[in-house]
Amino acid sequence: MTDRIVVTGGAGYIGSHVSVSLLEAGKALLVIDDFSNSCPEALRRIEEIANAKIEFLKADLANPALAEKITETVRRFRPSGAVHLAGLKAVGESVEEPARYYRVNLNSALTLVAALEAAGAKRLVFSSSATVYGDRSQSPVSESAALGPTNPYGRTKFFIEEMLRDIARADPEWKIANLRYFNPVGAHASGRIGEDPNGVPNNLFPFIAQVAVGRRDKLKVFGGDYPTRDGTGVRDYIHVSDLARGHLAALDYLAREKSPGVIDVNLGTGRGYSVLEAVAAFKRASNRDIPYEIAPRRDGDVAEIYADAALAERLFGWKAEKSIEEMCADTWRWQSANPDGYGR
């Protein structure tokens, strides 16, 4: 019997790669997305890559007026579980618009939980974030590290994790995995799907890619005086295709285990690269110059953070496989073939 999975935000950057991974594993998908940070072309390309069809519902999960329609659509689909990726995700924007972030992110999760309960599908993989960790000065960061996010975006992830824990305590039939991402980068090896942010990119790799392709003049490197090997911040970058495989592994783990309750699992590579190392790797992959300037540090940034990813390997049999060179080569393949992204 085909495993049927709901994917919220399935047309987005991470969601599109997760959707491909699940389809290629033989799962049937219902994607729910409102295209607020994605577009229909991504869905067409997902189907093309995976050679499979997707059921789709255009809907804003945070809109109470659509909750009944969403629940009915999910019930009719008869899923066994879901991957919840929909939500707002820009740290800086969350500081400027905290009420919007709490409303959208928390309401989206609550709507999905209610729909899954109505469908009797109590298996959920939640897209969380390493921003839930508090003191991030010590790396590698394990799942037992202190929690205490420092911005509204991170707090929405933390609150949803806690909400899901309470739901699972009240109803032991729930099986939930909170996947704490580090820094997803890269694109599908086909070059057909990749990261296409609205406006000015908030993250390093899409900004570097847009400089390389000529859409931006230069990169701003925030902080050149950190106590790291070259003075720039060090982060754990994980290829989005490795990340997508992690969601598939988590779903299958929840299906196998009798009663895992709620598990918190890091998805990262377990090593860090500096901003200048990432720039140099991208320069090699693209054979393009990447002009940059050193700018003042940003508030809240730490010098170095990377994951302890041992738990994912122990529980799921999963580990990141792709190198920084592959991350850069795949990002450039996507960006150079799609200089304007999906052309939204």
CATH number at residue 166: 3.40.50.720
297 falls within a domain = no
From 13, 101, 133, 153, active-site residue: 153
User: What's the rounded Cα separation, in Å, for the pair 292 and 72?
Assistant: 51
Q: Is residue 30 part of a domain?
A: yes
Task: Please report where in the chains the tokens 């490197």 appear, as a residue.
Answer: 221
* Assigned domain for 12 exists: yes
Query: Would you state the pLDDT for residue 50?
Result: 98
Amino acid 89: pLDDT: 92
Predicted confidence at residue 257, as pLDDT, reads: 86
> Distance between CA atoms of 167 and 163, rounded to whole angstroms?
6
Q: What is the pTM assigned to this prediction?
A: 0.97
Buried-exposed string 297-310: b where 16+ CB fall within 10 A, e elsewhere: eeeeebbbbbbbbe
Which range of residues forms the domain containing residue 119? 4-188+237-268+307-320
How many structural domains are present in the chain?
1
332 in a domain, yes or no?
no
Q: List the chain residues with pLDDT less than 70.
A: 135-137, 344
- The per-residue pLDDT for 135 is 66
Active site residue 101: no
Asked whether residue 198 is assigned to any structural domain, the reply reads no
Name the β-bridge partners of 30: 6, 55
The predicted pLDDT at position 202 comes to 83
- 255-272 burial, b at 16+ Cβ within 10 Å, e below that, comes to eeeeebebbbbbbbbbeb
Beta strands 237-239; 81-84: pairing state: unpaired
Q: Is 132 left (phi over 0), alpha (psi -120 to 50) or beta?
A: alpha
In a domain, 180, yes or no: yes
Please report whether residue 311 resides in a domain: yes
Residue 24 lies in a domain: yes
